[in-house]
Amino acid sequence: MIHGKENKDPTYLNFENGVAKTMLDKIINQKVRKRALEQACHEQHKDIAAHELETFNCCLRITSRVAFHSRTVELTDGRVHERVVEQARQREQSELEAVQ
Condensed to tens digits (0 to 9), the pLDDT of residues 85-95 reads 888 888 899 89
In this predicted structure, what is the pLDDT of residue 56? 76
User: How much is the pTM?
Assistant: 0.49
In this predicted structure, what is the pLDDT of residue 38? 96
The per-residue pLDDT for range 18-77, each reduced to its tens digit, is 777 888 889 999 999 999 999 999 999 999 888 887 887 777 777 767 777 676 566 666
Q: What kind and span of H or E run contains 100?
A: none
Q: What kind and span of H or E run contains 32?
A: helix 19-58
In this predicted structure, what is the pLDDT of residue 42? 95
Q: Domain residues of the chain, as ranges?
A: 19-99
Res. 1: pLDDT tops 60: no
Res. 4: pLDDT tops 70: no
- With H, G, I as helix, E, B as strand and everything else as coil, classify residue 35: helix
- With H, G, I as helix, E, B as strand and everything else as coil, classify residue 16: coil
